[in-house]
Structure 1
Amino acid sequence: MVKKYPSWVLLAFSFALAILAHGVFLYQWTQGQYMAGINDGLSQMMPFKHLLYEQYTNGEFFYSFDFGLGAGTFSELAYYFSTSIVFLLTIPFVWFLEMTGLIDAPDVLFWANAAVFISALRMSLVLFITARVFIYTKIPYWPSLIGASVYAISGMYFRHTVYWEFFADAFLWLPLLVLGTEKILREQKPGWFLLAVSISFFDNFYFAYINFLLVGIYILFRLFIPLTDAEKDRKKKIITFLTAGVIGFGIGAVSFIPAVYAYLNNHRPPFQQDIPIFEPIDNILYSSRYIILPALFVLFLFTFRFYRNKTFRLFALIGIAGVLMHLSPLVSSIFNGFSAPQYRWEYFISFAAGGAIASGLGMLSKMSQRGFFITAALTGFIYAIYALLDPAFEFDWVETGLVIVSLLATTTAVWAALHFSENMGPKIIGGVLIVWLIVFANFYQSEKILEMGDVWEVNKELITGEDYDDPEINRLLEEIHARENDGMYRIEWMQGVRNNTPIVQDFQGLSAYSSILNQNLLYFYLYDLEIDMQRESVSRYATLGNRANLFSLVRGKYIIRSTDDTNIPYGFTEILASENYLVYENENVLPFARGATEVYQEDKLTMHPPLAREHAMLNGIVLDTEEEGSPIQVTGDITSKFTIEEKMARYEDGVLEVTGETGGIDLVWADPTDGPGDLYVSFKLVNTAADEGFDLSVNDYVTSRKSNDSVYKTYVDDLTLRVPSQEKVRIRLPEGRYFLTELQLFEEDYEALNREAAETSGVQDLKIDGSKVEILYDNDQRDEYLSAVIPYELGWSATVNGVKTDVLKANYAFVGVPIEEGENRIIFSYRPPFFVPSLITSILAIFIGIFWVFRRKSARQ
């Protein structure tokens, strides 16, 4: 008779294993180093936690003007933490600690400190849930915990947690989906599957997609490998799966639908590189970054007698299928939404390996001495093949030695177990495996993450220092805030390439970095205004290319620059200084809301240069409308006044051959205009070298461009760069061959900006409260429309003097409404796209789900 243990015993062992598995990171925490990636960990994960915690504890759940130029955080950050159940459960606990004075107000440093403890608790739950799933499938108690350890204590868990923390939550929901599947197949009980589907849809739309593909594979195998006599009616089971899936979708709709809309409203250039069906081997036995298969799993795969057991056969075949799928970039592309291949689903292989090992441990008595030697020989042969045929394989005394020691120890343990009692054998092997898993997990943390991933640099000194949250900058920010009232203003400052610096340092900035951003803002930067961000990359926007008109239009009032940076936009004057930085103030900031009579048609402006589009926004309002609109005047075109001189290069018919280390062309203006002003230089630039990024400089302005084979390339090659007006424009590139075409130059004298800045604002009162903006506007100029510096996205509604009106997309990426003569009280309100119908759907689905589950229960009774 199999001894049963209470759940708290399993939970206690799970917690102990999780603590041991986090040994390196727990030690690093005592040394002031944190479990967070130096790149996305510090640039996205920690800032988003900080932002959302502040929002949620202040009662704002939907929108923030602190995220870039403004964004619907509930939907756009659903990919990260806004609907993450683990994060949502963390918030009240942290809030309690804050309210009781046990901790200060949480900041980015707090969330970095807390990361290792949240991870250990999450792993404890993964171990507990997975072990309970294996126990439910009739696998003995302790083998189930060992199999769960193979799944939870894996390199991919730590990789996910450190670099993209919310990825690790998927480890929780996959075993719940498997449990739900088994409950339907074995007992015709859909409750657990319904719960798991609902949680998955609510928690994260991206991993819901991945986990549903994975559980679909599991269900497919299960339909052809029945484990009980109650699984004969496949059609009925499929109908139950589909019904539970539809109801579960309905329950999770309140989160899932707004999140999917945000994903569809994002803009990311399509992946243009070839995706092979198979690629050279990823060495999953020795050195893979994603998954290292335990030697015991490989050994059991070649124990052919085990396949007579249906449970082992199920997990073994799924594991083999997973390994074959891992070798296909096409499969990884499918799991990433048919985009660039990303290896994020391989935890499924660990789950299958855990199931195979757990079920195999209970069948050691079926292994004969002769069978053992055959199995060991085949296992050794496979390890030799992986070492010999992998062109990238290099013997490493630590990493390779650890694998070989594991192979020898596992083989020896299995041989020894054959000579012990039936009860002792699995314990010996399981003990060896647990030790290896913990040792390897800590090795992975030390070598693969801390060293190779530079995570050892993530410490308190970094997070509170000049490379992340610079105290010198914070002092300048305090002085800026002290000069201001409660009005809306923005500051251009970004630490290095960390676009979410404004979230970290608690100011309203002009940059953002997220896998999902407002498409209208991305188009505004990339296509409509061709704003250079000084660094080509997807999923980001930053800076305004030193273009004064744009600064004034979006209320960019201050810029912070290093003392040696003299390339300052027009109209900015120095007001503050520190040892290494200067603060400049914009003298021509335009109001948050502006009236307009002149209406320009967006489509017609596409035929004109970006400077003409800037003037249209200054002189009136640009609408995405079919109305005729005001005539468009293009001024300042001085292309014909420049002559071209080659410098260490040959330029002919749009082809630029740079022959020196750097070179290019000079655009020479023989008779430049006196007085202040800027030049806008527009051209199309394509690098013919596929694998080389490069820097482009135009006079003192420098920007970087990605290589053609980079997955982060925008493929936006139409550039418009602003430089101070001068007689010579120097375009410089590194040695190579380029297509440089559509060259144009425009002079900007800022007459339109100065005129608009001198106008009296009609804004009498402005109140911004998260997802609600209230404007009192005196329309004494009889303007027809009002535009406001609120990024346009589906979800905004508006009333003018109490009457509901349509929200228009104005000035390419912002909101506008028709207004009346005289006083106008305009109220903009935001709710996530389709939030109300999604909420109603979720509420109805909960009742339908409860009714359906209890009706089926009554029918069985």
Structure 2
Amino acid sequence: MVVSVLKKTFQSDYAKVFLLCLLTSGLMFLPSIIINKGLFTLVGDFNYQQIPFNMLSNSSIKHGDIFWSWATDLGSNFIGSYSFYTLGSPFFWLSLLFPASFFPYIIGPMLMLKYCVAGITAFGFMKRYVSDKHYAAMGALLYAFSGFSVVNLMFNHFQDVIALFPLLLAGLDKLVEDRKLGWFAAAVALNATLNFFFFMGEAVFLILYYCVRFLAEDFRKYIRALPKCLLEGALGLGMACFLFLPAVLFTAQNPRLNAFLYGPSALTFDGARYLEIIKAFLMPADLMPYQSAIYDSDFTSSGAYLPLFGPVLVIAMMIGERKSWMTRITVLSLAMAFVPLLNSLFYMLNASYYARWFYMPVLIMALMSAVVLEKRNEITIKKGLLITSLTTALLAVFLLYYPWSPSEKSAVFHPDLFLVYLGVALAGLAATYYLVWRFKDSRHWTAMTLAALVLFSAGLGLFNIEVTNSVYSYQSGSNIYNTLIKTGRILNTILPKSEDYRVGISDDGSNLPMVSNKPTVNSFTSMVNGSIFKFYSSLDDPREVKTIIPDSYFGLQPLLSERFYIDTAQNRNDYLYAQFNNGTNTVYIYENKNVLPIGFTYDYYMTTKQFNMIPAEDRHLVLLKAVVLSPKEISQVKNFLLPIPVSQLTSISSGNYLQDVRARASEASTYFHRDPRGFTSKIRADSEKYAFFSVPYDQGWSATVNGLPVKILNADGFMIVPVNEGNNTIRFNYQTPGLTAGLFISLLSLAVCSGWVYSGKKFRKRLSNPLHETPGLERTSG
């Protein structure tokens, strides 16, 4: 029986697509994995974000630290910070089968699995639109290994979105065309849980898809299905609310979302951006941090090249079947890509340009290519081939030979790399000519085309991986393992076990504290608590994707309890606590003797107006004298704190620095302990006043002092609470905002959705059996 089940499984179309994608992704990834003895690394964000994020999420979940992450910058909402990267991904949860330190070894096979899943889901969507499943398999390969997938290799979590997006369109088709309930709701729930931010862009595309695919085809027929679609969409979103709601509430604090397109910038890009968009469709994907032309580096995810065929078959269908819904939605998508305001609809109207929605029209383009391959005797590719060839040639000549600026002879920065991509694009055009035109009736055409697609797709991906490893050889697998995993492990044995301090790192982008799970002052992530952005903005040093504290802001070291500083360079002026070799570098740990524990009191306050009047370069020092409060908070502290004397504000200098540190240290935490639900501090005060904690303010925090509830005030992004004269035991508890409500909505939506699907099945069953035999009577014919 087991043998028959396995035989049936491997004979299924889905299994064949899986194996095709596994073969392709294996050829793409395995050489690098083998060379690096099982490790898989790339460059930049992949090494210093994706690996630490997954390792931190893995260890946090296994240790029950699922509410507040102390190792994410100064501390952040764990669910909010990692819902975008890890927590909604089924692939991440699969990785929990392994220890956190194994992640650099399993990420390669995990990426291969994601490509296979992308192929399966794309196949499931496309097989409706072709009569021969072989063409759906070809379209699935085009989608899974498109330029968008390759250019975004360094963003591991993007691959999750690519893998599961086709389920949305397939689920909508099932609901509207087949009247099968529940599939669309399940697809919405899965994708909204997977990545809340990408889902918002996908919702825009779903609206376009429904309007173009259905309403424009037959408005009277398909408008009747709209209520069902809206209901299942709402239920699906509701089922995802256990993660979706906390994530949205958290991300709403991020100032990066506030940027907006104004005036002419909403209507036109600069010329270079238009060229980059055109290049994204005509030529294979470039390396994000090492672009061959137009931009030195480009992190906008501009990639839409279909392996082997490029846009040839898409253009052929646009010319040959102009009234097709596929043509209309592709033309509409292209128009939106070229207009900044319309493009930003897929990115929550953000002013920064991103092409991180291109995988959506790429799916349609891959489907169009599959349809043209099946109809190659009906739809001529001559014009598509000619237009693509001519456009590619013109683009190449312009980029190679037209002056880019008075000092730059062309827009090509790495000619060898550019010529390889150009040569590959031209080779694809030649292969398309022979496969789809000259030998389209060949006896072994299907096998030849599939083989060409596999080799072409795998070759492009392998080339980009190897070029990345070559250009960034200092970020090799062994070096990254030593720099992150090995260093993190050694730090945990060397640093003190006390919990009242943080560490700083010289490499602001490595996220090493996430791997060692140590509280830190640095991070390389844009998903941090909104109060952290507020704090650095008040210092006139706005934070973007990294926390980089200038060396001149030394007053922040005691304020933020930065006791240790980790560097790979030797500094003889600082106190060396320890040093070790991680196999790649010698790591030096320096100790700051003038550090304050997390938690100390203030006697004075200053207004935000007073604080803003102080020169930016001196603000780090005045923070050791008084706590910064808004007028709203000041009215609540008047019986506990005094306004700072003017003499204190006019005598700000580094000479008073140690005096201010000692004043704060006189009433600081004598005990500080972190646990999965918050932290506890003990402080002795000489009078009623406020205790300050350099922990980001968040609506999820609640506090008690000596067992009695107290109100937490927001002090320039941090928390202060009133304390009594004498001994104080201060307890802070954290509950993720939106988590309880989100869980309730999810359970309610799941119950309603189950009832909806069950009632639909009962109704359809009743319709399929309208007549029932009545006992004692015989039906006669006559």
Give the alignment's TM-score, normalised by structure 2. 0.81
Name the stretch that deviates more: 555-564 or 345-354.
Answer: 555-564
Corresponding residue number in structure 2 for 1:529: 539
Contact map agreement 1:786 1:818 (CA 8 A) in 2:
yes
Distance 1:803 1:130, change over 3 A: same
Q: Secondary structure at the match of 2:251?
A: helix
Q: State the AA in 1 paired with 2:151.
A: R
Q: State the AA in 2 paired with 1:106.
A: A
Q: State the AA in 2 paired with 1:813.
A: G
Using the TM superposition, give the Cα deviation of residue 49 of structure 1 relative to its aligned residue in structure 2, in angstroms: 0.4
Corresponding residue number in structure 2 for 1:809: 714
Write out per-residue CA displacement over residues 799-856 of structure 1, whole angstroms, 9 at most, x where no aligned residue: 333333322213x222222234444333211122221112111111111222223233
Corresponding residue number in structure 2 for 1:459: 476
Corresponding residue number in structure 2 for 1:586: 592
Write out per-residue CA displacement over residues 572-597 of structure 1, whole angstroms, 9 at most, x where no aligned residue: 64444679665443333223222344
Using the TM superposition, give the Cα deviation of residue 141 of structure 1 relative to its aligned residue in structure 2, in angstroms: 1.9
Equivalent residue for 1:319, pick from 330, 334, 337:
330
Using the TM superposition, give the Cα deviation of residue 117 of structure 1 relative to its aligned residue in structure 2, in angstroms: 0.6
Q: State the AA in 1 paired with 2:666.
A: E
Corresponding residue number in structure 2 for 1:851: 755
Contact map agreement 1:499 1:541 (CA 8 A) in 2:
no
Corresponding residue number in structure 2 for 1:717: none
Q: Matches of 2:233 and 2:140 in 1, distance apart? A: 26
Contact map agreement 2:506 2:565 (CA 8 A) in 1:
no
1:150 aligns with 2:172: no
Q: Matches of 2:164 and 2:589 in 1, distance apart? A: 49
Corresponding residue number in structure 2 for 1:515: 526
Using the TM superposition, give the Cα deviation of residue 752 of structure 1 relative to its aligned residue in structure 2, in angstroms: 3.5
Equivalent residue for 1:125, pick from 114, 117, 125:
117
Q: State the AA in 1 paired with 2:226.
A: I
For 1:654-673, list aligned pairs within 5 A. none
Corresponding residue number in structure 2 for 1:392: 399
Distance 1:620 1:397, change over 3 A: closer
Corresponding residue number in structure 2 for 1:159: 151
Using the TM superposition, give the Cα deviation of residue 81 of structure 1 relative to its aligned residue in structure 2, in angstroms: 0.9
Percent identity between matched residues is 22
Distance 1:499 1:636, change over 3 A: farther
Distance 1:550 1:187, change over 3 A: same
Corresponding residue number in structure 2 for 1:32: 36
1:771 aligns with 2:778: no
Write out per-residue CA displacement over residues 410-434 of structure 1, whole angstroms, 9 at most, x where no aligned residue: 33333456656xxx5xx61x44443
For 1:78-477, list aligned pairs within 5 A. 78-91=83-96, 93-94=97-98, 105-107=99-101, 110-137=102-129, 139-160=131-152, 162-224=153-215, 226=217, 232-268=220-256, 270=259, 274=265, 277=268, 279=271, 280-281=274-275, 282-283=278-279, 284-287=281-284, 289=286, 290-293=303-306, 294-295=308-309, 298-299=312-313, 301-302=315-316, 307=321, 313-337=324-348, 338-366=350-378, 372=380, 375-389=381-395, 391-392=398-399, 398-415=420-437, 419=441, 428=445, 430-451=446-467, 454=471, 458-465=475-482, 477=491
Q: State the AA in 2 paired with 1:516.
A: M
1:835 aligns with 2:739: yes
Q: Matches of 1:564 and 1:152 in 2, distance apart? A: 47
Contact map agreement 2:144 2:163 (CA 8 A) in 1:
no
For structure 1, the residue ranges without an aligned partner over 5 or more in a row are 95-104, 640-679, 681-745
Q: State the AA in 2 paired with 1:771.
A: R
Q: Matches of 1:480 and 1:452 in 2, distance apart? A: 34
Equivalent residue for 2:12, pick from 9, 17, 34:
9
Corresponding residue number in structure 2 for 1:557: 563
Using the TM superposition, give the Cα deviation of residue 180 of structure 1 relative to its aligned residue in structure 2, in angstroms: 1.5
Q: Which one has a larger percent strand, Structure 1 or Structure 2? A: 1
Distance 1:250 1:389, change over 3 A: same
Q: Matches of 2:717 and 2:384 in 1, distance apart? A: 62
Contact map agreement 1:499 1:511 (CA 8 A) in 2:
no
Q: Matches of 1:317 and 1:202 in 2, distance apart? A: 30
Q: Secondary structure at the match of 1:77?
A: helix
Distance 1:389 1:89, change over 3 A: closer
Q: How well do the aligned residues superpose, as a CA RMSD in angstroms?
A: 3.4
How many residue pairs are counted as aligned between the two chains? 703
Q: Matches of 2:713 and 2:156 in 1, distance apart? A: 37
Q: Matches of 1:854 and 1:470 in 2, distance apart? A: 53
Q: Matches of 1:401 and 1:457 in 2, distance apart? A: 29
Write out per-residue CA displacement over residues 589-618 of structure 1, whole angstroms, 9 at most, x where no aligned residue: 223222344344334433334587556643
Q: Matches of 1:361 and 1:265 in 2, distance apart? A: 48
Write out per-residue CA displacement over residues 63-103 of structure 1, whole angstroms, 9 at most, x where no aligned residue: 21122221112102212112223212332x32xxxxxxxxx
Q: State the AA in 1 paired with 2:259.
A: P
Q: State the AA in 1 paired with 2:224.
A: K
Q: Which one has a larger percent helix, Structure 1 or Structure 2? A: 2
Write out per-residue CA displacement over residues 389-444 of structure 1, whole angstroms, 9 at most, x where no aligned residue: 55226896643333333323333333456656xxx5xx61x444433332332332
Distance 1:437 1:342, change over 3 A: farther
Distance 1:518 1:557, change over 3 A: same
Equivalent residue for 2:76, pick from 71, 87, 100:
71
Q: Matches of 1:44 and 1:469 in 2, distance apart? A: 13
Using the TM superposition, give the Cα deviation of residue 55 of structure 1 relative to its aligned residue in structure 2, in angstroms: 0.5
Distance 1:529 1:363, change over 3 A: closer
Using the TM superposition, give the Cα deviation of residue 61 of structure 1 relative to its aligned residue in structure 2, in angstroms: 1.6
Equivalent residue for 1:41, pick from 29, 37, 46:
46
Distance 1:469 1:524, change over 3 A: same
Q: Matches of 1:215 and 1:457 in 2, distance apart? A: 43
Using the TM superposition, give the Cα deviation of residue 458 of structure 1 relative to its aligned residue in structure 2, in angstroms: 4.1
